[in-house]
Copies of this chain bind each other. A is one copy, B any other.
Amino acid sequence: MAQQVGTNLTWHEGAITREERQACLKQKGVTVWFTGLSASGKSTIAVALEQVLVNRGHAAYRLDGDNIRMGLNKNLGFSAEDRAENIRRIGEVSKLFADSGLITLSSFISPYVSDRDAVRALHEEAGIDYIEVHVDLPLEVAESRDPKGLYKKARAGEIKGFTGIDDPYEAPAKPEVKLATHEMSLEDCVAHMLKVLEERGALST
């Protein structure tokens, strides 16, 4: 039931599909979920990867604390319930971005298996590709880096419920990718992620 309405004003019945959006962008939407300790290097890798992707003409977007915590999730605290809701909302938004066709890079400590598995399930139910990346830096190395002084404050008891100190980090059992950032350079990490995205068909249609 194609309609032709005026010059170049065409549409068909029903809404644009994910496949049509992907064809327009010449790539496939995917969520790349970086999980790991504070100071493990999640955001550093996501920032560098986004740059390389955009420089190569791919549409990408990063979700992280900077654009989520003061916005969508500004009404959430640090209770167990709020932490779960924090990751749930981010998972839903990541799914929408991936559905739109973008390569979506989400960097959040996301310490609990149950929260991360719920995000994975959301994507699987929708038929959207999902890549869990464990940014796997040993606690003692992360703590020795401590760029924001947060580990120091947590050890001093000034921050409560800090992941790795007085709250657990539940490492993924079977992440799609593991990046040992104390053994790999940033370039190696970015190159590896590009290879994974290419192998999974995200960089073309």
Interface residues of A in 30-81 (CB under 8 A from B): 47-48, 50-52, 54-63, 67, 71-72, 75
Interface residues of A in 111-155 (CB under 8 A from B): 122
Interface residues of A in 82-123 (CB under 8 A from B): 85, 89, 92-93, 95-97, 99-102, 122
**Pairs across A and B, CB under 8 Å, 22 listed:** A9-B190, A10-B51, A10-B55, A11-B47, A11-B190, A12-B51, A15-B47, A16-B51, A16-B54, A16-B62, A21-B59, A24-B54, A24-B59, A25-B59, A61-B96, A71-B92, A71-B122, A72-B92, A72-B93, A72-B96, A75-B85, A97-B100
Q: Report, nearest first, the 5 A-B pairs whose CB atoms are least far apart.
A: A11-B51, A61-B100, A72-B92, A5-B187, A71-B92
